[in-house]
Chain A
Amino acid sequence: MAYFDAASTEPLHPQARQALIAALDVGWSDPSRLYGPSRRARMLLDQARAEIAEVLGARPDEVSFTTSGTQAVHLGVLGTLSGRRRAGRRLVTSAVEHSSVLHAAGTHERDGGTVETVGVRRTGAVDPAAFEAAVLEPGTALACLQTANHEVGTLQPVAAAAEACRNAGVPLLVDAAQTAGRVPVPAGWSVLTASAHKWGGPAGVGVLAVRKGTRWRSPLPEDEREGRRVPGFENVPAVVAAAAALRAMAAEAGTEMTRLSGLIDRMRKTIPEIVPDVEIIGDPDERAPHILTFSCLYVEGEALLTALDTLGFAVSSGSSCTASTLRPSHVLEAMGVITHGNVRVSLPRGVAAAEIDRFLAVLPDVVRRIREDAGVR
């Protein structure tokens, strides 16, 4: 199986696997207790926190571990809104944020707050001027922007958004789930969220970093763990493995992401030459290094995914027929691009160039056959 779905989850990094097994033996004890095994667990947890903080550009005491990237976003959004309640109840997000941001925004709205959604260009990037105007509106408590879009890979203008937020005195939550470990985290965030399984760590570890001086109050019942930010017993072995993966991934990123980006460039260029009626989606240059998205006209997304799976390719799709909601992805809708026949290819580290060759070799025939079956001439 050629695995091309790293944007859903990156396979466990070998160094994370090693660290996980070792930490299961030595890091199982309660890190809050004072006896020997607990002191060891605490040391491992603090060491991992320092390593992850360093790669992400945070201070160790700003970093808390959650049970997922989604939980990190929920706590980051709702906790900052709660801490900023006296400043206002207005939340600004882009139209193409991850569903965890949109769902947290929905909770905020049901709680009487307001949400302003800033639209995106055809590439999927927000217009920095529109984002700035939204942030400058009085009563804005928080703004949210992803580093890169999870479905189309387009990078967002985080630096410009951070400057606008700084000038307006509004905290900015940056969702770095798609780029952490692959691309340096842009500066200027007030709250940063990420997810370990997307950088080759195990599932069950998210990162919530809250910059010193940012007002934040837990939206959940009180708990002593993780600097009072995240309730529940810490998963020390998984956090240790997450740190090992992030360190390894970031150390290789310079060369490996350049290589993956070259493979994506090749696919971006080749696919429209060998498959008729294809729309390549997202920004060709300002993009995450490992993600390519395209839509094939007149083709059902589910049929395409099934055919590719049969041929040994794991890819994802934002088409409505592949979603439980029967709606196309809100990202593709907001961009105004073709939503059917959609394929997202996202390359994991170490993917062989020969697997890209094989994908490009079979794709034209797969698309042609599905179109023929649908009676498209």
Chain B
Amino acid sequence: MMSRPTETAPQPALTIDALGKKCPIPIIMLAEQINQVPMNSVVAVLADDPAAFTDVPAWCRLKSHHHVGSYDLPQGGWAIHVRRNY
């Protein structure tokens, strides 16, 4: 899976800062907080554990949410964007 440069990232409705947190914590935070945004809006998970880069999109597939894209952060890690589908 490819990541994209950060400048192309759209503005999310909610940003979850999971930098420095090891999996599964970023996924636990995402699952807890995704229902705080309105339907069809985007949550950004900031994470630098390499496992999160694979696990967030895989979680989206299992939970039928939409993985919009993963964007490189200048300080390392990614902003992984997820659209709430239901």
Contact = CB atoms under 8 A, between A and B. Distances in A.
Interface stretch (A144-152, A188-196, A338-346): A338-346
Given A297-B59, A336-B1, A328 B51 contact: yes
Interface of B: 1, 22-25, 27-28, 31-32, 49-51, 54-55, 57-59, 61-62
B70 to A, nearest CB: 12
B41 to A, nearest CB: 22
21 contacts: A297-B31, A297-B62, A298-B27, A298-B28, A300-B23, A300-B24, A319-B23, A320-B22, A320-B49, A320-B51, A327-B50, A328-B50, A337-B58, A338-B59, A339-B54, A340-B23, A340-B27, A374-B24, A375-B28, A376-B28, A376-B31
Interface string A263-285: 00000000000000101000000
Contacts of A298: 24, 27-28, 31
Contacts of B49: 320
A299 interface: yes
A300 B51 CA distance: 11
A336 B22 CA distance: 18
B45 to A, nearest CB: 14
Contacts of A336: 1, 54, 57-58, 61
A35 to B, nearest CB: 58
A307 interface: no
A321 B55 CA distance: 14
Contacts of B23: 300, 319-321, 328, 339-340
A341 B54 contact: no
A338 B58 contact: yes
B28 to A, nearest CB: 5
The interface residues of chain A, by DSSP majority, are classed as: loop
A333 B22 contact: no
Contacts, number: 66
Contacts of A337: 54, 58
Interface in A293-335: 297-300, 319-321, 326-328, 332-333
Interface of A: 277, 279, 297-300, 319-321, 326-328, 332-333, 336-341, 374-377
A374 B50 contact: no
Given A338-B62, A339-B55, A299 B24 contact: yes
Contacts of A338: 54-55, 58-59, 62
A374 B28 contact: yes
Nearest to A302: B22
A377 B1 CA distance: 30
Contacts of A328: 23, 50-51, 54-55
Contacts of A326: 50
A107 B58 CA distance: 32
A279 B24 contact: no
B23 to A, nearest CB: 4
A239 B57 CA distance: 46
Given A320-B49, A338-B59, A333 B24 contact: no
Given A279-B58, A321-B23, A339-B23, 8 more contacts: A297-B31, A297-B62, A299-B24, A300-B22, A333-B54, A336-B1, A338-B62, A374-B25
